[in-house]
Amino acid sequence: MDQPTDLNLLVVLDALLEHGSVKGAAAKLGRSMPSVSRSLARIRTAFDDPILVRAGQHLVPTPLALEMRSRVHAVLGDATALMAARRDLDIESVSRGFVIATTDPLMCALGTALVRFLDERAPGIKVAFVVQGANTLSANGAEVDLEVGEIGGHGVDQHVETLFHDRLVGIARADHPIFEEEITLDRYLCFKHLLHSRRGLFTTPIDDQLKALGRCRTVVSSAPTLAASLFMLNHTDLIGTCLEHTTRPICTELGLRYFDLPLKRRPASISLVWHRRFDRDDTHKWLRDRVRDYVISLDKFGEKQGDHELVTF
């Protein structure tokens, strides 16, 4: 098959695979639909494949298109980094989209601050947040530009920077009866529990730890996102668990209260991860510096009666 030699065709192909429609790709690229349709025809000829085929009211990618999607995105990312390295960064004139994978509580805090900041300083930069671990996206692939949170594993082509260590704590509404007495293990197990589980599970490693002690707790519900579980805790007599510092902004907003777990748990490492191909990408570096500073500030936010404040970029 003939290979496309026009890099602009790959730009169109990337937009088509992202949006799954000529209309969506045209809107992203700022081009007319007939122009994008003509480019799609050239792409189909170049790859000897329909690329997108109709399924009802929608277009779906062919197997070849699915296979090429991450590679096309990676090629364009490398090209962007190459061009960026050859000029001084003028962040106000940059037009670019980024995908950041993180936990939903971090998304609530970081997302609000970052979107406001970008609107003022870099209006051409768009950020799409995806829930970390909810799918196969990772900084090891081309789909995610930056990942922040607990990192389960990483490849040799990823850069992992540990920002701080967070601890698991108990959480409940501020006037919950659990706070009326010292929170021992027996008292902790007297109350009903709510879990955060994307898969709808009713056990976590805490239950394994309790089982080893010959004890168990009563779990009556689970929520697919931690943000949802925190909202539910604020309106029920259930108790839950969460990481202390990374959830503090949303817990403060909801008026929830932490307590020390009567169990020893290993601290979690909160890290920033990106693919090494972005190391010399000035725009990516500028964005990850902003994200790093904000997330590190979470480690001190709310301590010592408000002596520390969140970075506001």
What CATH number corresponds to the domain at position 252?
3.40.190.10
pLDDT of residue 162: 93
pLDDT averaged over every residue in the chain: 85
Average confidence (pLDDT) over 95-109: 88
Average confidence (pLDDT) over 262-288: 91
Token code pair at residue 128: 């799409």
* Residue 262 CB neighbours (<10 A): 14
User: Is the same domain home to 22 and 77?
Assistant: yes
Whether 313 maps to a domain, the answer reads no
Domain with 39, as residue range(s), is: 7-84
Q: What is the CATH number of the domain that holds 53?
A: 1.10.10.10
User: Is the same domain home to 231 and 112?
Assistant: no
pLDDT single digits (tens) 138-188: 454 447 899 998 887 666 778 899 999 999 999 999 999 999 999 999 999
> How many domains does the chain fold into?
3
Distance between CA 199 and CA 219 in Å, rounded? 15
pTM: 0.67
Task: Tell which of 84, 104, 125 closes a domain.
Answer: 84
Top-confidence range, 5-14, 39-48, 87-96, 206-215: 206-215
Confidence of residue 70 (pLDDT cuts 50, 70, 90): confident
Task: Tell which of 84, 112, 135 closes a domain.
Answer: 84
User: Is the same domain home to 52 and 128?
Assistant: no
Distance between CA 8 and CA 261 in Å, rounded? 56
User: Is the same domain home to 37 and 95?
Assistant: no
User: Is the same domain home to 44 and 116?
Assistant: no
User: Is the same domain home to 149 and 231?
Assistant: no
User: Is the same domain home to 12 and 45?
Assistant: yes
Whether 309 maps to a domain, the answer reads no
CB 81 within 8 A of CB 281: yes
Of 188-192, 217-221, 303-307, the one with minimum mean pLDDT is 303-307
pLDDT of residue 308: 46
> In the chain, what percentage of residues exceed pLDDT 90?
43
Average confidence (pLDDT) over 247-268: 92
pLDDT single digits (tens) 229-254: 999 999 999 999 999 998 998 899 89
Task: Tell which of 51, 84, 117 closes a domain.
Answer: 84
User: Is the same domain home to 110 and 243?
Assistant: no
Exposed/middle/buried for residue 181 (C-beta within 10 Å: 0-12, 13-18, 19+): exposed
Whether 312 maps to a domain, the answer reads no
